[in-house]
Amino acid sequence: MSISSFTFEPWAAIHQQRVEAALDDTLPVVDIQPERLHAAMRYAVLGGGKRVRALLSYASAELLGAPASSADAAAVSVELIHAFSLVHDDMPCMDDDNLRRGKPSCHKQYGDATALLVGDALQSLAFQCIADTNAPQALKQVQVLAQATGSRGMCGGQDIDLQSTGKLLSREALENMHQYKTGALIRAATLLGAYAADSTEEIHINLLNQYSQNMGLAFQVVDDILDATADTQTLGKTAGKDALQEKSTYVSLLGIDEAKALVTTLYEQTLQSLAGFDTQADSLRGIARFICERPF
């Protein structure tokens, strides 16, 4: 495996800027009606986040030799879905969190009713943005994204999470919950990038499925570790929330050391699914390393 001259950080910076510009273009401007809703949508989406899901879309497209421009809609749509989930998740009837990406969360800034509509409108915009491309595999992208978002994906995971709060989950139940809650969208982000190519072979989808399944899980374990160890300022969101809400996490279940060991194992498995590729998989490898080495 040659990781040779590739360095992840500049690649990530370029693509983070790329998706930020594409999001800015996609979101309605604030001087068209309804102005306040558009301002709130932009507030909820722009200028924050690591854009991991967008990076996965771009990196997958790169694996298959598709240009970044063909993956812009995929990258934008997964970030819109992610942003909508954060807005709704922060609302008083859900996690009731006042801080997001270092600033007041959307409902604190604009009120609950507008935050509800912001989330709803961001979800529609995600699908519209894919459909607007009229690309050969756009319908497949809609299908994958819709499934990952709905009751058998992210929304379902949040419901399982709600039902599980205060209960002691088995490791299997915890993994199942996270496959829905965060794993489904991580997988969709990866696959949408692959479907940004004009055509996609089944073998690539299978490998990217393996890659993203391990990545999604690693991502969640790292999140649990950070929630337990980092402070609110570093995270840009309220730290220590899991323990406070009596949520089962990989840390509460395995302890910090075993959780860290699990991340290492998942990282190695993630790399294994890319073993058949040369430099065209460098960006996917870089994302895996970035996720698994987030400082803790």
Please give the residue ranges that form the binding site for its own copies (CB under 8 A).
28, 32-34, 36-38, 41, 84, 88, 91, 93-94, 111-114, 116-117, 119-121, 123-125, 127-128, 130-132, 134, 138-140, 142-143, 145-147, 149-153, 155-156, 158-160, 162-163, 176, 180
Q: How far is Cα 137 from Cα 147, in angstroms, rounded to an integer?
A: 16
Nearer to its own copies, 112 or 246 (CB): 112
Q: Least distance (Å) from its own copies to the CB of residue 80? A: 10
205 versus 230: smaller Cβ distance to its own copies: 205
In terms of C-beta distances under 8 Å and separation of at least 24 residues, what long-range contacts does 23-26 make, across chains too?
Answer: 23/76, 23/79, 23/80, 26/76, 26/80, 26/125, 26/129
Nearer CB in complex with its own copies: 50/152: 152
Nearer residue to its own copies within complex by CB, 32 or 203:
32
152-164 b/e (C-beta count within 10 Å ≥ 16 → b): ebbbbbbebbeeb
Q: At what angle are helices 202-229 and 256-272 packed, to 10 degrees?
A: 160
DSSP state of 169: -
**Smallest distance from the beta carbon of 120 to its own copies, in angstroms?**
5
Contact 21, 156 (CB under 8 A): no
User: Please, what is the minimum distance in Å from the beta carbon of residue 242 to its own copies?
Assistant: 17
What is the closest distance, in whole angstroms, from the C-beta atom of residue 130 to its own copies in the complex?
8
